[in-house]
Amino acid sequence: MRVLVRPAQYFALALYILFLGFPVLWLVSASVKSSGELNSLTVSLLPSEWHWDNYSEALDKQGLIRSAANSLIVALASTALSVLIAVPAAYVLARLKGKVRAAGVGWILVSQVFPVVLIILPLFLILRTLGLADNLAGLTLVHTTYMLPFALWMLQGYVAAIPVELEEAGAVDGASRLTVLRTIVFPLLAPGVVATAMFSFVSSWNEFFFALVLLQSPENYTLPITLTMFVGGEGKVALGPLAAGAVLAAIPSIVFFGILRKKLTGGLMAGAVKG
């Protein structure tokens, strides 16, 4: 029996790889198939002929480039805002003991329970009153707030990893707090800030619900919204361009996650496991 353990394990692993990888492979493959092949009843994993025109067709369609630009603007702006806001707060959160820290951590946890569906109604009313409902600036504000708890959580983990003794040493040498922060804390925090920023970017780039509720004019749509418009539309779905658009929309996230892989699991786990 013992001899069979390894093969059984590899078989199980193969099933996992199939489950996790096949859908992605299928999507990529569909994005380079001709429409004839996509609509035929014979199903094949790899395209008989590689067709790149799905990509050019997707880019021509329903303002895909425009909505990608919108997504990019919102993601960059909300990332910059949330990191800028989160860095000082995360520093305080990590270094302070007592009530402030408890309140901060408590809020981060509670924010995970917030039912967005209850938040979104008043948020929509507030933004509409401010004239920011169907507006990229409004969406940026919402994304910033929505990413803040997580950014804070990640960053305070990175701050906590910087030994307090380094700051003590700086303070003993007579440097002011700002100098200590600028010369000691920030340089050590930089990789954590980059990781947090990348994560925030991906969250905003992928976000769908707020964008769906807030944006009404097609010229303001972000990429995920435009992609769902591909699906509906005029009866018959053009599968090839849809798949191509989906692949294009997923690329930035996957690239960033690839770079972040080690840092992300390390940083997240430091928070999750140690609590």
Partner 1 sequence: MTATLTRPAPSAGKKKPVLARTRRREAIALVLPSLIPILVLSVAPLVVGIFLAFTDARLVRHPDYGFAGVDNFVRLAGNDLFWDSLRIGLIWTVGVTLLQLAAAMGLALLLNSGLKLQGLTRVLALIPWAMPPVVVAIMWQMIYSANGGPLNAFLGGVGLPDDVNWLGDFSTALPAVIVVGVWVGMPQTTVTLLAGLQQIPAELHEAASVDGAGAWRRFTAVTWPSLRPIVTSITSLNFIWNFNSFSLVYVLTAGGPGGKTMVPVLFIYLEAFKNREIGRAAAMGLVLVVVVVLILAVYLRSQFRDDRAAKGR
d(CA 100, CA 95): 10
Binding mask 195-214 for partner 1 (x = CB under 8 A): -------x--xx-xx--xx-
Binding mask 9-38 for partner 1 (x = CB under 8 A): xx-xx--xx-xxxxxx-xx--x-------x
Residues 125-144 that bind partner 1 (CB under 8 A): 125-126, 141-142, 144
d(CA 71, CA 41): 36
Residue 250 interacting with partner 1 (CB under 8 A): yes
46-54, 61-69, 162-170, 189-197 -> range binding partner 1 (CB under 8 A): 162-170
Residues 79-118 that bind partner 1 (CB under 8 A): 84-86, 88-89, 91-93, 95-97, 100, 104, 107, 111-118
Residues 207-246 that bind partner 1 (CB under 8 A): 208-209, 212-213, 223-224, 227-228, 231, 239, 242-243, 246
What's the gap between Cα 113 and its chain centre? 19
| Distance of closest approach, residue 41 Cβ to partner 1, in angstroms | 6
| Distance of closest approach, residue 52 Cβ to partner 1, in angstroms | 19
Closer to partner 1 at the Cβ: 50 or 208?
Answer: 208
d(CA 167, CA 235): 64
Closer to partner 1 at the Cβ: 52 or 209?
Answer: 209
Q: What's phi and psi for 96, nearest 5 deg?
A: -85, 145
| Distance of closest approach, residue 74 Cβ to partner 1, in angstroms | 13
Mind giving me the DSSP string for 204-216?
Answer: HHH--HHHHHH--
Closer to partner 1 at the Cβ: 96 or 190?
Answer: 96
Whether residue 223 contacts residue 71, with contact meaning beta carbons closer than 8 Å, is answered with yes
